[in-house]
Chains A and B, each alone.
Chain A
Amino acid sequence: EDQVTQSPEALRLQEGESSSLNCSYTVSGLRGLFWYRQDPGKGPEFLFTLYSAGEEKEKERLKATLTKKESFLHITAPKPEDSATYLCAVQATGNTGKLIFGQGTTLQVKP
C-alpha cells in the first residue's frame, strides 16, 4: 500500500535556527513527490516537485532533496513568517490526479 509518513509532527525553532523536516514514503512507482505549505484557513500552497533520487530544488530559505525512500525539506535561518504546516505528498505511477499526503509537520518559528 502506498504510504507517506512525516516527522516530526511539530517543530519549534528560534529565528535563525536551521533544521530539517523528514518525509518517508513507500510507493509502487514514484511519479512525483510534492512539498506544500499550508497556513491556517487556507489551501495548500505548492512549493516543490521532485521526480528522481538525487534531485534537489531550492527556493529562498527552503531546500528539498529526494532519495529512493525519503525526502527532506531543509529550512535555513528560518523567520517567523515561515511558520506553517508543511505537507509532503506522492503520486504513484498510473494513479492520475491522486496525491497521497502525509500528516504534515507544523512548524513554529519564534522571534
Chain B
Amino acid sequence: KAGVTQTPRYLIKTRGQQVTLSCSPISGHRSVSWYQQTPGQGLQFLFEYFSETQRNKGNFPGRFSGRQFSNSRSEMNVSTLELGDSALYLCASSVTGEGQPQHFGDGTRLSIL
C-alpha cells in the first residue's frame, strides 16, 4: 500500500513570494492534517481537512491556507513568505481523523532566503 506522498521535497524561495505544497494521502484516508516542524517549536498543527472542508485550525496567521480536493489530495499555500517560515512541512493522513493513527509523508523542506 502506497504511503503519503508529498511534493516537492525541497523548495527555496525568497521573502515576499508565495508557495504551494502538495500532499497525496493513503488510499481510503479522507482526513489530511498539516504540520510545521522547526528545531525550536517542534511539530505544530496547522489545519485539518475532511471531505473538502477545513474542520480544524491551529494558531497560524491567515497567510497559511489549504484546500482539499474530491480525491482527498490536499494542497497548502503560504503567501508573503517570511524568513521564519523556513521549516519542514509535514502532511499526515488518517481514515477519519478521529482517534486513529496519522501516517506522515517525508515532508517538504522549505527554505526562505
Contacts and interface: CB of A to CB of B under 8 A. Distances in A.
Interface string A75-111: 0000000000001010100011111111110000000
Interface residues of B, number: 29
B33 A97 contact: yes
B48 A103 contact: no
**Per DSSP, are chain B's interface residues mostly helix, strand or loop, or mixed?**
strand
Contact of A46 (B45, B102, B106, B107): B102
B103 A31 contact: no
Given A43-B90, A44-B90, A104-B42, A97 B97 contact: yes
B107 A100 contact: no
Contacts of A43: 4, 90, 92, 104-107
Interface string B75-113: 000000000000000101010011111111111000000
A99 B56 contact: no
A44 B58 contact: no
A31 B99 contact: yes
Interface in B18-76: 31-33, 35, 42-45, 48-50, 55-56, 58
B30 to A, nearest CB: 10
Contacts of B45: 98-100
Given A32-B99, A43-B90, A99 B104 contact: no
A54 interface: no
Contact of A102 (B42, B49, B104, B106): B42
Nearest to B96: A96
Given A96-B55, A96-B98, A41 B43 contact: no
A36 B103 CA distance: 10
B98 A31 contact: yes
Nearest to A93: B99
A41 B102 contact: no
Nearest to B106: A43
Contact of A49 (B90, B101, B104): B101
> Which 6 pairs across A and B sit closest by C-beta, in order of nearness?
A97-B48, A43-B104, A97-B97, A101-B43, A97-B33, A96-B97
